[in-house]
Amino acid sequence: MSKKTSIAAVIKSYYKETQREEDERLSRVGILTDRIRELNVSTALCEIKTFRQKEKAFLKMKRESVGAKDFTLVKQIGEGGSGTVYLAQKTNSGHYYALKVIQKKRNKDLDYVRLEKEILVMAKSMWLVKLFYSFQDEESLYLVMEYLAGGDLMGVLIRNRTLTYSPAVFYVAEIVLALEEIHGMGIAHRDLKPDNIMLTKEGHIRLTDFGLSAQLKGELVQTEKNKKKTRRKMARTRVGTPDYIAPEVLSGKEYGMECDWWSLGIIVYEIFTGNPPFKSRTSLETYKKIQNWPATFKVPPAVPRKAESLICGLIQWPEKRLGRPEDVKKHPFFDGINWKTLAHQKAPFVPDTQSLGDTKYFDAQKNVKKNIFARTPPPNGSPNTVVGYNFQSFDSLSLDEFLSDEE
């Protein structure tokens, strides 16, 4: 990137971030205004005072810039192609977070890195994992997300092998709502699998790991390349986990968000049978079975009829596949589901966690590398700087952090 292009990118990123923060502040003011209309004068004044304190504390926090120095690593709880995830503790508050560390040298295409961060920034849904901070140093990028102590759906399947009908409907319905959210943002997840479906301490799902996601509509990320060309490239890239990847993704041709619905079909099959349908000894064998799926795919007779119908509607060629949330939600498999109250229903399995930092549902490694932090941010103009990556969420302010600023 030339120096002129770099400066333009910095300016564009600055104004985009400033506008986003102003929009969010106005939204918070609107929410406060609506709330205090229903309160008596004394309570309303307390609400206004607390609001002002928190806004003041947020501005102070942004000036101080949160970075690697503010976190202590506790355990490694996950590792993938794009990065390593740690349970980390913020030193001033003691709060636990999931800290994803992404090595810059291992991720050559920064469009995907920027997009993962932007998805998390813009996501306001309870079905998607929350991002509190993002920052960088010379060697790495960091995403500080909510820690979900319940583990993932794969852990549930390993412990139970298969699920009975009612729990299966519950989890699949919540995954549908998560896909509805990201597809509404113009995003295809492209790596939907049980390992990327996390569970809260109440047992509800959160979709995570957007490191392979593709922006197929909208303009979440402003790339240095031609946006149309970049989007087309993303929509032709062969990415994903072998057992869950759709045939059109393997073809190398252009595809859309319907690839995620194929992956959901694989998950539903696995929930009822204990294994994905195209599982083989090697990835190459799996790919061959997927590409020839009409001949290699069969639903066992033990699978309930409505589940079989849904599976067959999802594991299908793109043009015939159930590919829209509204169509999937109408399927008889979900008869009896109240989509509006699902988030408030009791989950089939409530994690038995003993503390906020409990890692019993993870294959956690205690001996983490203490020197993963370069600790120094890249200097201005450094070629290692990812422009516009740093972020601090208003929601990251905790009670003990903002009340200390009380006048």
Which letter, b or e, does each residue of 46-84 get, where b requires 16 or more Cβ atoms within 10 Å of its Cβ?
eeeeebebbbebbeebeeeebbbebbebbbbbbebebbb
DSSP track, 80-125? -SS-EEEEEEETTT--EEEEEEEEGGG---HHHHHHHHHHHHH---
- By DSSP bridging, strand 197-199 and strand 140-146 are unpaired
278 phi and psi angles, rounded to 5 deg: -110, 20
Q: Tell me, yes or no, if 191 is annotated catalytic.
A: yes
R_g over Cα of the chain: 22
Contacts 24+ apart (CB under 8 A), 164-168: 165/304, 165/307, 166/348, 167/348, 167/349, 168/268, 168/271, 168/272, 168/307
Measured CA to CA, the distance from residue 265 to residue 277 in angstroms comes to 10
Vertex 168 angle, CA 165 and 171, to 5°: 155
Q: How many CB atoms lie within 10 A of CB 340?
A: 7
H/E run at residue 59: helix 41-64
Give the separation between CA 209 and CA 190, rounded to whole angstroms: 10
Tell me which DSSP letter residue 366 carries: S
Distance CA 56, CA 1 (A): 37
Which amino acid type is present at position 71?
Answer: F
Indicate which residue of 34, 70, 109, 191 is catalytic.
191
What's the rounded Cα separation, in Å, for the pair 71 and 132? 13
Nearest CA-CA partner of 335 in 172, 169, 175? 169
Stated length of the chain: 407
The Cβ of residue 376 has, within 10 Å, a number of other Cβ atoms equal to 12
Q: State the Cα–Cα distance between residues 400 and 237, nearest whole angstrom.
A: 45
* Rounded (5°) CA angle 356-362-365: 100
Would you name the residues annotated as active-site residues?
Answer: 191
